[in-house]
Structure 1
């Protein structure tokens, strides 16, 4: 068995997922050597760490502008990645054929943007839930119209200084909904060629929720396009927002794992890079469409996971990020 094959097997069990806990090269060599068959030099191991950390498909990643290695985050699900590439090229995938570096760059931009939206939600008190299962490689293409990439949970009437349990109990006693769910579709570039598909896909994927959001990374600078979005919003209610990140600004962001695990000061610096522009605000309905929700429950177990998480918060009287449940 080659050294690289062995490393692909042992590194995921050794490397931490959090870049803040990255293992330096010397220590990683010591830990890896205990698991390898064969006598390999330090130089050979360091060489393989370096080469593999540059491969988006390998499990090892190197800390940006620092020392140490950590476990690379899971790749973007294949269907969702293909969907974003279709949006990126306005359906002309031939533009990317035969150029793996361009595909890798496009997918990295997708992952960075998703991470920055996730962090932005957390900073602004909107609890994010990410759908992954409906976009796996063997999932039907129809799921692109059924599920959002992200659900943003807004707990109604509970500020930072409020007694959460008291607020939730009051809502329950008054039979008022304790939260609102806004289903979001994420896109990199707005375009005259694809804006209607983007918009109506966001509408279709959010029909069961209180509201829908279409969030772009890049700025929407074309006045005609802006006006078109506002007309669609007036008729159908899906909100449209830009984060003001052009492709080069996305490339300049740290890796997705760094964004998701950033310290408060680092997060503040990341948020300062954004130029949020609300093209049209979402029209929020007072109630969830339970019939529409029931129609997609059998298509993904994550629908039940979403509501199990929300119910846990209601039972404990404490709003919790999804990962801690």
Structure 2
């Protein structure tokens, strides 16, 4: 039996599940050698550990920061929509049969995560707009490549603390005369669990849904501990400019949070306690383009009432010269 085949059988029993408890290479070599048939050098074992850690089908993963290896978890159902759509890569909720409670639990987690992301950006001076209609269970799968879960709006606001919601009148007038948008729009795709198996789909869906906007952001709930995964995301970001952020929230953390409505309507002290549970890690910063694709945005408006609401909200803020949170009336 080849060394690779032996390691595939042995490593799952030796590796810890938690990246924080990662086992160092020297100790893993010692433990693996006890169970191996054949005499292999340390260098050969280290080489195989390194190569296998970049294989999404392998059990071994290398920690992104620090030293050591841990057991890569099995791919979980990925969020292919915002609230109503759950998928194995590009499937539908209908495709998942069996344990209904597991599906309900996964859907509740993503609703909580969406609420946390919304509240986080509201607290930090960005203005989220949510798309929901394109992700119902009967919606076409092509919507996953057309609509973002969230649009994040950054405005030119006033400089003084008392006028932090007021738009900068001088800059607003100048940009209007130059035909430049007085805001920056980034389309965001949300995902629960980062995975070496599915990150390319996550990334290119984010790129696709952001082509009409000025930038794209891929936001994961879970921590990105896998070195190969983090490197892969950074390389794609360097090539295409999509930002990648992890909120560092394990399923257990999400399960402990209050209901989504409570998160969105939390009092300041409650919001502070929720924000304290986050471990924000920016894998790659988003690159903003100077202009929107107005033709593509107008096409989106003709197909989606929510896109029309987005434009109406932006116009309202400009007319009032005040950045206001979106309210669906």
**TM-score under structure 1 normalisation?**
0.70
Equivalent position of 2:122 in the other structure: 122
Please give the secondary structure, in 2, of the residue aligned with 1:322. Answer: coil
Q: Which residue of structure 2 lines up, in the alignment, with residue 164 of structure 1? A: 167
The CA deviation at 1:158 is 3.8
Measure, in 1, the Cα distance between the counterparts of 2:211 and 2:174. Answer: 28
Alignment of 1:48-63 (within 5 A): none
Query: CA, structure 1 residues 117+145, in 2 after alignment: closer, same or farther (shift >3 Å)?
Result: same
Residue 189 of structure 1 corresponds to which residue in structure 2?
A: 193
Q: Could you tell me how far apart the structure 1 residues matched to 2:94 and 2:328 are?
A: 42
Kept in 2: contact 1:165–1:316 (CA 8 A): no
Distance in 2 (CA, whole Å) between partners of 1:311 and 1:298 is 17
Question: Could you say which residue in structure 2 is the equivalent of 1:290?
Answer: 294
Deviates more, 1:183-192 or 1:288-297: 288-297
What corresponds to 1:106 in structure 2? 106
Determine which of 314, 318, 323 is the counterpart of 1:319.
Answer: 323
Contact preservation (8 Å) 2:157, 2:168: no
* Structure 2, unpaired ranges of 5+: 1-78
Q: 1:180 to 1:158 in 2, by over 3 A?
A: farther
Q: Provide the rounded CA distance (Å) in 2 between the counterparts of 1:314 and 1:179.
A: 10
Q: Give, in whole Å, the separation in 1 of the partners of 2:322 and 2:93.
A: 46
Quote the Cα distance in structure 1 between the aligned partners of 2:159 and 2:87: 39
**Deviation of 1:157 (Å):** 4.9
Residue aligning to 2:213: 209
RMSD over aligned Cα, in angstroms? 2.6
**Is the Cα contact below 8 Å between 2:317 and 2:323 reproduced in 1?**
yes
Deviation digits for residues 95-154 of structure 1 (CA, Å, limit 9, x no counterpart) = 952111111100000100000000011001110100111112332111110000000000
Give the conservation status (yes or no) of the 8 Å contact 2:245–2:282: yes
Tell me the TM-score normalised to structure 2 length: 0.69
Q: 2-side partners of 1:263 and 1:281: how far apart?
A: 30
In structure 1, runs of 5+ residues without a counterpart are 1-76
Q: Distance in 2 between matches of 1:230 and 1:305?
A: 34
Q: Deviations over 1:72-98 (max 9, x none)?
A: xxxxx99655644435xx979899521
